[in-house]
Amino acid sequence: MIRDVVAVVGRQAAVFELGLVCQVFGLDRSADGLPSYDFAVCASRPGMVPTTSGFAIEVRHGLDRTRTADLVIVPAWAEELPLPEGVAEALRAAVARGAMLLSVCTGAFALAEAGLLDGRRAATHWQVAPRLAERYPRVRVDPGALYVEDGPIVTSAGASAGIDACLHVVRREFGAATANALARRMVVPPHRSGDQAQYVETPVPATGDGYGLAELLDWIQAHLDRPLTVEALAARALMSPRTFARRFKDVTGTTPHRWLLDQRLRLAEQLLETTGLPVDAVAARTGLGSPDTLRHHFAARRGITPTDHRRAFRD
C-alpha cells in the first residue's frame, strides 16, 4: 500500500507538473475519507531550486528521502544530462527495493537516463517522443499513449495526462471508488484509459446534426446493460457505421469498442466495491453478459479477478 510518496526535482522544477503531483499526493484529504500520504519533495542539493516559471521554491530534503518511499515521482524534467549527482542511483535503488516509479511528461528522460526504461514500453509528451526514442533506442516509446504501466514504472504524457496517471496509481492501490472520489474532489474526469490518444481532433463533442456525440456518450453510460453494437449506435447518431467510428475516435481518442469496454469495466469496479451483487449480476448489469466474460476482460485489463478485486477494495 502506498503511504510514503516523494517527488524528485532536478536543477530546475517544473511548476505545473510538480503542482499536480502535490494535488494528488501532497494534500491531506483524510477528512473527506480519502487516503493521506507522507509526502515530500527532494533534490540532489536541498535549498532554493529555481523553477521553469521564473521563481524559486525551497526544497528541504535530499535524495536520502527516497529510501523509504513507496512511490517515487519524477515530474517534468529539463533534460539535464548528465543527471544531477546521485539521482540515477536513488531511482535505481528505489526500484530494486520494490518501490513504484512514476514520471510525468519529460520526467521519462530522467528514468531513461538512469537505464530504468530499457526494454520497457514508455510514454512521454508526443512532441518529445521522437527525441526520447532516438536518444534511448532500447526504450519502446509509445508516442500516442496517455500513460503506460510496465512493471513497477508508470510513465505519462504531458500535463493533464499526469493527473490521469496519478489517478491510475490511486485506483490500482485503493480501488475505483477512492480514485473516483478524489477525481470528483479535484473536478477532473475520473478515468481515461492509458491507451487513449494524447489529443483528439474534435475538442467539442458534437455532430451538428441529429444525435450529438456528447449526448450519445451520456446515453450509453446510462444503458451499459444493453447489447450496444457499432451499427446500433451509429443509427442512433444518424450516421453510417464508418462515419460514426471515425467521428467517435476524433472525439474520444479511441474506438467505440475500446471506450465501451472501459466504461463497462469501470462500472464493474464500482459495483464490486460498493455492492454485494454476485459476479453474474455484475456481469449482467454492466452488459458484459456472462461471469466468464467479465472475468476474462477484468483479468486482461486489471490483472486481477473480480472476486479478488472485491476482496481487496470492498468498503
Q: Where are the domains of the chain?
A: 4-186, 213-253, 258-313
Q: Dihedral through CA 228, CA 298, CA 69, CA 188, nearest 10?
A: 10
Give the containing element (helix H, strand E) for 214. Answer: helix 213-222
Each residue's pLDDT tens digit, 186-209: 888 665 654 544 444 433 344 444
pLDDT(145) > 80: yes
- Gap between the Cα atoms of 194 and 61, Å rounded: 32
Name the residue among 151, 155, 153, 152 with its Cα closest to residue 142: 155
Q: How confident is the model at residue 218 (pLDDT cuts 50, 70, 90)?
A: confident
pLDDT(79) > 80: no
Q: What is the mean pLDDT of residues 142-171?
A: 92
pTM for the model stands at: 0.73
Residue 212 is predicted with a pLDDT of 65
φ, ψ of residue 147 to 5 degrees: the values are: -155, 160
Q: How many CB atoms lie within 10 A of CB 44?
A: 18
Residue 209 is predicted with a pLDDT of 42
Are the CB atoms for 55 and 17 separated by under 8 Å?
no
For the record, the C-alpha cell of 210 comes out as 441529429
Domain 258-313 belongs to what topology? Answer: Arc Repressor Mutant, subunit A (1.10.10)
Q: What is the mean pLDDT of residues 228-253?
A: 90
Residue 163 is predicted with a pLDDT of 93
Domain 4-186 belongs to what topology? Answer: Rossmann fold (3.40.50)
Q: What is the mean pLDDT of residues 104-114?
A: 96
Residue 254 is predicted with a pLDDT of 86
- For 7, the 3-state DSSP assignment is strand
Among 62-66, 108-112, 169-173, whose mean pLDDT is lowest? Answer: 169-173
Are the CB atoms for 34 and 171 separated by under 8 Å?
no
Residue 231 is predicted with a pLDDT of 94
For the record, the C-alpha cell of 171 comes out as 485506483
Share of the chain above pLDDT 70, in %: 91
Residue 207 is predicted with a pLDDT of 41
